[in-house]
Copies of this chain bind each other. A is one copy, B any other.
Amino acid sequence: MELLLHTFSKHINITEQELTVVLNRMRKKTVKKKQYLLQADQVAKDAAFVVSGCLRSYSIDDNGFEHILQFAPPGWWITDMFSFISEQPGNLFIDAIENTELLLLSRKDQLALFDELPKLERYFRIVTEKSLVNSRQRLVENLSLTAKERYERFCNIYPTLINTLPQKQIASFIGVTPEFLSKMKSQWLKG
């Protein structure tokens, strides 16, 4: 897959042979729109690399509300990191926003690759560092910005998603109710 090669190449130099070694450990999978890749209480055996389509990860709280943690368009990795590294049942759901093609890599295979191909451990070290920066940034923004400001940030950061995504899910990501997002947008047009 060229997309996978391109994605690795952003952070490490990798040869075709090395890419083949990695690909031999990965399995293709497709998930249709609205179907689950993972549900809460399952163990996330795999990390998923999105080739086409889009996935989302979210938790459901005690009141039944969804809180979206991540969208994964093509070229992104997604999993329930807690479950993936601890091999314990997690509390995240991952499902497909549209028909999606994936490459799966199990934790076992990932760890084996880290020994075979130290470059790959470096790649994931870097990707994880960046995800951490991202997650902490989002935490700060949730604590310090208003709903309107968070919506604007979302539009800037995910300009491509803004048109394809149901508004409901944008609301869930920025941490407001769909009703309130709708209200904000109409006040927008007036003010």
Contacts and interface: CB of A to CB of B under 8 A. Distances in A.
Contact of A132 (B61, B65, B81, B137): B81
Contacts of A126: 85
State the oligomeric state as a number of copies.
Answer: 2
Interface in A67-91: 67, 69, 81-82, 85
B125 A121 contact: yes
Nearest to A123: B125
A136 interface: yes
Contact of A121 (B59, B122, B143, B145): B122
A140 B60 CA distance: 9
Nearest to A124: B125
A133 B86 CA distance: 10
A69 B118 contact: no
A136 B92 CA distance: 11
Contacts of A130: 85
